[in-house]
């Protein structure tokens, strides 16, 4: 079985642009979560989706949005990019809301 | 909001020695999870602790969950070079299922 896959792996954007990151969960997993990891810090929770509904939201501005599709894949959108949005964006899937998370390799976003 | 504190931030260990990393939450947790992230990699799940006072072992790694379900520890014995990486604890709240990560303990090993 394939693990969690994320695309793209690397991305360079200019300030003010928007970006869409994609995630495919492990087959059978219904929950997808998004995290932002800045170098030297732990992953910071952005969103959790379960059965296509938002079930949790972290302390991120409204420029960040996400959705989960009927096939359980997910997209994270960030509008009006700032330099401070440069980070590794991790997607994690889990079987349920309170089970262990399996992370993808992440998308390295650089905003210039 | 919930905060998960993890100490120490860095752990430099002589190969063969033991060490412990500690994790404390400001709120009671539904469960606590431990992850390991190698340099340039992504977090990889190690273990989940659910019950108050629970202890679990994986070879040279021993994980504990406190009686109050607010703290946890990871003890590694006879450290090896393969133990290099950053170890994160992550606490799951029962009311909203947000998984909050600590800042991690970055382990380096002297041969």
Q: B19-34, pLDDT tens digit by residue?
A: 999 999 999 999 999 9
Q: Are B58 and B46 in contact (CB under 8 A)?
A: yes
Give the pLDDT confidence score for residue A96 in this predicted structure.
Answer: 87
Mean pLDDT of B34-40: 95
Closest by Cβ to A100, choosing from B30, B45, B94 = B45
Q: Are A16 and A111 in contact (CB under 8 A)?
A: no
Identify all chain A residues contacting B58, using CB atoms and an 8 Å cutoff.
Answer: none
Identify all chain A residues contacting B88, using CB atoms and an 8 Å cutoff.
Answer: 42-43
Of residues A35 and B3, the one with the higher pLDDT is: A35
CA A19, CA A76: separation in Å to the nearest integer?
A: 8
CA A39, CA A36: separation in Å to the nearest integer?
A: 10
The mean pLDDT of chain B is 94
Identify all chain A residues contacting B90, using CB atoms and an 8 Å cutoff.
Answer: 42, 101
């Amino acid at each position: 079985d394939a693990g969690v896959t994320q695309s793209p792996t690397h991305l360079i954007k200019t300030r003010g642009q928007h970006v869409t990151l994609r995630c495919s969960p492990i087959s059978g997993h219904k929950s997808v979560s998004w995290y932002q990891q800045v170098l030297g810090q732990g992953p910071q929770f952005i969103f959790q989706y379960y059965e296509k509904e938002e079930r949790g939201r972290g302390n991120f501005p409204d420029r960040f949005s996400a959705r989960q599709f009927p096939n359980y894949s997910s997209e994270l959108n960030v509008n009006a990019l700032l330099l401070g949005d440069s980070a590794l964006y991790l997607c994690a899937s889990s079987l349920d809301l309170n089970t262990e998370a399996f992370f993808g390799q992440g998308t390295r976003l650089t905003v210039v | 909001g919930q905060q998960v504190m993890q100490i120490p931030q860095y752990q430099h260990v002589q190969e063969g020695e033991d060490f412990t990393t500690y994790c404390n939450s400001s709120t009671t947790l539904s469960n606590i999870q431990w992850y390991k992230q190698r340099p340039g990699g992504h977090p990889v799940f190690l273990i989940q602790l659910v019950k108050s006072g629970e202890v679990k072992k994986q070879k040279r790694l021993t994980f504990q969950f406190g009686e109050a379900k607010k703290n946890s520890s990871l003890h590694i014995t006879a450290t090896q070079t393969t133990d290099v990486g950053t170890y994160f604890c992550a606490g799951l709240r029962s009311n909203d299922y947000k998984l909050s990560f600590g800042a991690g303990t970055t382990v380096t090993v002297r041969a």
